[in-house]
Amino acid sequence: MPITPTEKIWMNGELVPWEDAKIHVLTHTLHYGTGVFEGIRAYETPQGPGIFRLTDHITRLFNSARILMMDLPYTREEIVQACKDTVRATGLQSCYVRPIAYYGYGEMGLNTLPCEVDVAIACWPWGAYLGEEAMRKGVRMKISSWVRHDHNIMPPASKTTGNYANSSLAKVEALKAGYDEAVMLNGLGWVSECTGENIFVARNGKILTPPLTAGALEGITQDSVMTIGHDLGFDIRTDNLARSDLYTADEMFVCGTAAEVTPVNSVDDRPVPCPGPMTVAIMDEYAKAIHGDADRYKEWIEHA
């Protein structure tokens, strides 16, 4: 997914030219993976660019930092406004928004307490993460040989840069084996999540998604999907899933800010009906919500 430059990036309180947004090679987080970040999307709406669940994302950013004992040098409200300012500076009607907080230059070693915290926000155009065809045809999934890390090893509740080495290993393994995405199990063998998405499985009229205790990130899109599912009258809930539940699913989809809502057509070469009727209904309602076309979800949109 090549990056398309935009005009400005917000760095430590200033909008600077894209090409000037640079850090030192000895930046602490570059060596130890101790940054926290968010992935957010802004969509074209009748009222201009609308950032989807911006405040919820920034709240999660602060929660991630709290888990790492990282003190952010800005308030939640200041980062929310900075995201809006950065989106507006791009001139784009829709874009991906990446806020990141990281330990900067000046200290080396594993003790982060004396480190200064820098914050940056970049925006750029980004299409369908799993491919445009995936929305219609679905994606092929593989159970990864890589296990999702444990709560007492690398806390999955924190969206930490270092956590994504685990996801990257699983993603590359799946791609090299000819699949689109990987499903990660936890140390007990329960389904956790995909490399960058939460997973939903429909069986016997119920839609299930793994709980946070299984090692899944507390997904903003996951929460949106569950709200939409309830409003559509579906029995949708969190529960543990075994890999065999995926093999015998009536329908399945994954969701995340980058992937949005994407159907699944197979897991380990076991076909899954795709897209299923509940998946289609949720996809359609989600598409309305993100573009500001669903009145009951208007509060999810914050305009730049």
Catalytic residue among 8, 84, 142, 159: 159
159 is catalytic: yes
Q: What are phi and psi of 133, to 5 degrees?
A: -65, -25
What is the SS3 assignment for 85?
A: helix
Strand 206-209 with 235-238, pairing: parallel
What is the SS3 assignment for 54?
A: helix
Q: Is-contact 248 271, C-beta < 8 A?
A: no
| Cα 97 to Cα 93: distance, rounded to the nearest angstrom | 12
**The Cα angle at residue 131 between residues 157 and 224, in degrees rounded to 5:** 40
| Cα 7 to Cα 95: distance, rounded to the nearest angstrom | 13
Q: Write out the catalytic residue numbers.
A: 159
